[in-house]
């Protein structure tokens, strides 16, 4: 191993160990003893735990008999695997998710190095190590930690496939994309992002090659998702490709009493409907509500956009000065420098088209459904890469001026 490789390896070991130490310290000491954050503050936490326990007890991947496909399957399967190997306590999943998030920081280095340069990758990975929201979600049974790792891996594999479009890379990318969707179905919007990205890039070169890539990747993605869709068809005798919660979240973000965030008002009519019928009813009723008052819908779009890109937490439980300061002083510098980084890389914008379309698709999804900074977290690694490039540029400019 040459000296360059040794230095790179030592840096990555440092990044992993530092990230892991911070996250374990937070999970086992700061989270409840200092910050006083309750484990079940998020409603879906208990759902995922219940599904995992039901699966291990032989009842299947269900929340309850009347919620068979309400949640996506991958995270409950991940939880059940941890519970099966290490028991049902909180500490095993905290440690595993700390490891996973530390690997995310390492993966950011590789993606940053691939799309820009080694120094950008190093800076970006270090920012991810100390970014509070990444640390925060390792302490909860939520999809965020696993999903961010899978999404980052998918984008890395996609970028590698564009550079080296062999069959192996395409298949691995498709599997990773399929697993990401099974973890967080909102990523189905990414399929459209993928189509747009390849179609636009094909305007300049390689139509046949681009459509070969997209054909194989999407075929493998569909095959990865297919077993879950077949399982749902077996239960419902109807086509339910992913989950039955889209209607509920659509209603939640747009009903007459919605403020753009989580809402617990539900029509009485759904109480006597099946899971699939309830999902369809809420979708149709929400569309009816929007048609009746389109002005209010447009106002909600603005509100949800603001909630998604907010500089401080929207949830009242995290409205203390401490949480606001942590959020503001961690997010605003990244937001400003990432926009600056996009400007600095405008001449090679095609290399980052998939980043831009990810930003657009995640924003659009939150505007249509529910707006929350939680749903912004998965795109933060990509913003951080732009931010890191800006910091590198500032350092180089300052250093060159100092030499003069």
**pLDDT for 232-277, tens place per residue?**
999 999 999 999 999 999 999 999 988 888 877 888 888 889 999 9
Report pLDDT for 11.
95
Which of 115, 142, 169 is where one domain is finished? 142
- Co-location of 276 and 351 in the same domain: yes
Q: What angle do CA 290, 294, 295 make, to 5 degrees?
A: 135
Q: Are residues 23 and 120 in the same domain?
A: yes
Q: Which of 119, 142, 165 is the last residue of a domain?
A: 142
Is residue 323 in a domain? yes
Q: Is the confidence at residue 33, as pLDDT, over 60?
A: no
DSSP string, 124-191: HHHHHHH-HHHHHHTTSSSSHHHHHHHHHHHHHHHHHHHHS--HHHHHHHHHHHHHHHHH-GGGHHHH
295: in domain: yes
State how far the Cα of 212 lies from the Cα of 289, in Å rounded to an integer: 42
Domain count, the chain: 3
> Is 105 within the bounds of a domain?
yes
Residues 100 and 182 both lie in one domain: no
Give pLDDT, residue 143: 95
CA dist., res. 339 & res. 298, Å (int): 26
Report the residue count for the chain.
404
Separation between Cα atoms, residue 353 and residue 380, nearest integer Å:
16
Query: How much is the average pLDDT of 2-9?
Result: 79
Low-confidence winner among 25-34, 109-118, 186-195 (lowest mean pLDDT): 25-34
Cα gap 237→185, rounded to integer Å:
21
CA distance 231 to 244: 13
Burial class (CB in 10 A: 0-12, 13-18, 19+), 256: exposed
Q: For residue 92, is it within any domain? A: yes
Confidence tier at 199 by pLDDT (50, 70, 90): low
Residues 234 and 257 in one domain: no
pLDDT at 234: 94
Burial of 312 (0-12, 13-18, 19+ CB in 10 A): middle
Q: Are 92 and 49 in contact (CB under 8 A)?
A: no
**DSSP codes joined into one string, 27-44:** IIIIIIIIS---TT-SHH
Q: Which residues pair with 262 in a beta bridge?
A: none
H or E segment at 368? Answer: helix 353-368
Q: Is 37 exposed, middle or buried (0-12, 13-18, 19+ CB in 10 A)?
A: middle
- pLDDT value at position 315? 78
Residue 185's pLDDT band, with cuts at 50, 70 and 90, is very high
- Does pLDDT of 36 surpass 70? no
Picking from 212, 240, 268, the residue at the C-terminal end of a domain is: 240
| Residues 296 and 362 both lie in one domain | yes
Q: How much of the chain exceeds pLDDT 90, in percent?
A: 67
- The rounded distance, in Å, linking the Cα atoms of 146 and 48 is 13
Write out the DSSP string of 211-233. Answer: HHHHHHHHHHHHHHHHHHHHHHH
193 domain-assigned: yes
Chain mean pLDDT for the chain: 89
Give me the residues paired with residue 64 across strands.
67
The CA distance from 34 to 213, in Å, is: 49
Which tokens sit at 342? Answer: 């996009």
Which range of residues forms the domain containing residue 226? Answer: 156-240
Per-residue pLDDT, 195: 73
Q: Which residue has the tokens 């995270």?
A: 75
What does the alpha-carbon distance between residue 156 and residue 266 come to, in Å, rounded to a whole number? Answer: 40
**Looking at residue 261, what is its pLDDT?**
83
pLDDT 10s digits, 225-235: 999 999 999 99
Question: Interhelix angle for 144-163 vs 380-403, to 10°?
Answer: 70
Examine residue 166 and state whether it is found in any structural domain, yes or no: yes
Considering the domain architecture, whether residues 280 and 192 belong to the same structural domain is answered as: no
Q: pLDDT confidence of 398, banded at 50, 70, 90?
A: confident
Q: Are residues 325 and 351 in the same domain?
A: yes
Same domain, residue pair 338 and 195: no
Q: What is the mean pLDDT of residues 60-71?
A: 91
On whether both 175 and 209 belong to a single domain, the answer is yes
Give the residue-averaged pLDDT of 5-13: 90
**Is 14 found in the same domain as 122?**
yes
Q: What pLDDT is recorded for position 322?
A: 81
- Shared domain for 124 and 169, answered yes or no, is no
Task: Determine, yes or no, domain membership for 29.
Answer: yes
Same domain (yes/no): 292, 379: yes
Residue 200, pLDDT score: 66
The answer to whether the beta carbons of residues 343 and 389 sit under 8 Å apart is no
Residue 249 lies in a domain: yes
- Is the model's pLDDT at 318 over the cut of 90? no
Element of type H or E holding 369: none
Residue-level pLDDT at 100: 97
Give the pLDDT confidence score for residue 1 in this predicted structure: 56
Q: Which of 90-99, 191-200, 269-278 has the lowest mean pLDDT?
A: 191-200
Ramachandran sector of residue 370 (left: φ over 0; alpha: ψ -120 to 50; beta: rest) = beta
Q: Which residues pair with 67 in a beta bridge?
A: 64
């Amino acid at each position: 191993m040459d000296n360059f490789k040794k230095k790179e390896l030592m840096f990555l070991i440092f990044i992993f160990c530092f990230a892991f130490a911070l996250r374990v310290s937070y999970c086992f000491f700061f989270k409840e003893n200092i910050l006083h954050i309750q484990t079940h503050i998020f409603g879906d936490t208990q759902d995922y735990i219940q599904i995992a326990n039901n699966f291990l007890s032989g009842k299947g991947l269900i929340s309850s008999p009347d919620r068979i496909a309400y949640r996506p399957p991958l995270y409950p399967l991940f939880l059940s695997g941890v519970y099966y190997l290490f028991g049902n306590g909180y500490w095993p999943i905290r440690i595993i998710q700390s490891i996973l998030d530390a690997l995310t920081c390492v993966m950011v280095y590789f993606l940053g190095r691939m799309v820009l340069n080694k120094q950008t990758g190093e800076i970006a990975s270090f920012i991810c190590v100390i970014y509070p929201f990444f640390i925060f979600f390792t302490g909860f049974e939520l999809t965020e930690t696993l999903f961010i790792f899978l999404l980052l891996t998918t984008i890395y594999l996609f970028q590698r496939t564009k550079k080296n479009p062999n069959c192996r890379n395409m298949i691995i990318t498709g599997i990773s994309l399929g697993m990401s969707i099974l973890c967080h179905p909102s990523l189905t919007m990414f399929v459209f992002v993928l189509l747009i990205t390849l179609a636009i890039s094909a305007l300049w070169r390689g139509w046949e090659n681009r459509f070969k890539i997209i054909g194989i990747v999407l075929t493998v993605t569909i095959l990865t998702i297919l077993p879950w869709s077949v399982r749902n068809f077996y239960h419902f005798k109807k086509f339910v490709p992913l989950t039955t919660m889209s209607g509920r979240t659509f209603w939640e973000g747009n009903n007459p009493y919605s403020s753009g965030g989580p809402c617990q008002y539900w029509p009485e009519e759904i109480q006597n409907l099946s899971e699939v019928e309830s999902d369809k009813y809420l979708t149709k009723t929400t569309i009816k509500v929007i048609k009746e008052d389109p002005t209010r819908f447009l106002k909600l779009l603005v509100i949800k956009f603001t909630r998604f890109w907010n500089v401080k937490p929207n949830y009242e439980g995290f409205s203390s000065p401490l949480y606001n300061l942590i959020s503001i002083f961690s997010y605003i510098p990244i937001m400003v420098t990432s926009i600056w980084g996009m400007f600095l890389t405008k001449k090679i914008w095609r290399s980052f088209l998939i980043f831009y379309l990810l930003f657009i698709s995640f924003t659009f999804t939150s505007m249509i459904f529910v707006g929350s900074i939680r749903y912004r977290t998965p795109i933060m690694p990509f913003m951080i890469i732009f931010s890191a490039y800006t910091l590198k540029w500032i350092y180089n400019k300052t250093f060159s001026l100092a030499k003069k």
